[in-house]
Chain A
Amino acid sequence: AQKVTQAQTEISVVEKEDVTLDCVYETRDTTYYLFWYKQPPSGELVFLIRRNSFDEQNEISGRYSWNFQKSTSSFNFTITASQVVDSAVYFCALSGGTSYDKVIFGPGTSLSVIP
């Protein structure tokens, strides 16, 4: 069975601090995809990144970076120099093993950035 765990329920940081959101996944599939989505208070899920299981290169996009480690089944997300606009719920998600796009979401981490 597929499962995504986000152990941090809530995180609070002061603006300009760096913060890492943890994600651990479980799957028996050899081919799978990992995602991060952001859900601001408005409720709409915003796509941040997709990574397939064969690409373990870390990725950086502006203040965002992702660390994918298959050996520990982790796909962690770091925000550098956090800003108030980063306040949101962040979901790690997993799909794979089916011919359709069933995405399994983790429970989410609520990030509050305090000015």
Chain B
Amino acid sequence: ETGVTQSPTHLIKTRGQQVTLRCSSQSGHNTVSWYQQALGQGPQFIFQYYREEENGRGNFPPRFSGLQFPNYSSELNVNALELDDSALYLCASSPPPGQGAGAEQFFGPGTRLTVL
């Protein structure tokens, strides 16, 4: 069974640039969620994708966007990077919604983004 993978591991960008982070879900999972974890804090929910559509969103501005592909992999795109976007970005996969909120989420190792 293949776990959740994310790429790249680390990334350095400058303010105003755009970035794309990638995630491959665990085998058999077709739902992907993205979280932002600032240093010393708990992860914060950005959004969730199911069947290639955004299924729910947290309190993040529109410059945070995503995609999900037919193979259930996903991308997180952030435009106009700001210094506060520096964080660990975590991707999690889970069984499909419809089983009710609370499905166990399996997390990837994360992408560490630094914005200078």
Contact = CB atoms under 8 A, between A and B. Distances in A.
Contacts of B55: 99-100
Nearest to B102: A33
B109 A96 contact: no
A102 B58 contact: yes
Interface in B40-76: 41-45, 48, 50, 55-56, 58
Nearest to B107: A45
A43 B94 contact: no
Contacts of A100: 48, 50, 55-56, 97, 101
Given A32-B102, A95-B101, A100-B97, A106 B42 contact: yes
Contacts of A107: 41-42
A47 B105 CA distance: 8
A23 to B, nearest CB: 11
B41 A101 contact: no
Nearest to A99: B97
A105 B44 contact: yes
Nearest to B42: A105
B81 interface: no
A98 B56 CA distance: 9
B100 A31 contact: yes
B86 to A, nearest CB: 15
A103 B109 contact: no
B31 interface: yes
A101 B94 contact: yes
B33 interface: yes
A47 B104 contact: yes
B75 to A, nearest CB: 18
Contacts of A50: 102, 104
B88 A103 contact: no
B41 A33 contact: no
A45 B60 CA distance: 22
